[in-house]
Amino acid sequence: MKNALSLVATTGWLSVVLQLPGKEEQGVASTRYTSVQTLKRDFALIDAFELQCRLGAKGFQLVEQRTRSLPAGKALWLGVFMQKETVLPEEVA
């Protein structure tokens, strides 16, 4: 996470997409792509709330989130974060 956060400009935004656990498959979803299957053991699900807390401690605030259900019981979570010093467009005079 440290590397990713270091790439965000002082007034920048960070978007994160997480795969959520499915009803049938609680781990990282299976895929038909061999190259991704070989990396599956290197991936882990990250709790969206825990990520929000960790990013909050690093000075990022959640400004928008969405969850999207996909076929086969998979779901994705999108979180958009801004650095706490960033001025939102509607706040600019």
The model's pTM: 0.74
Mean pLDDT over 43-60 rounds to 91
* Helix, strand, or coil (residue 51): helix
On the 0-12 / 13-18 / 19+ scale of CB atoms within 10 A, 81 is: buried
pLDDT category of residue 93 using cuts at 50, 70 and 90: very low
Q: Is the pLDDT of residue 25 over 90?
A: no
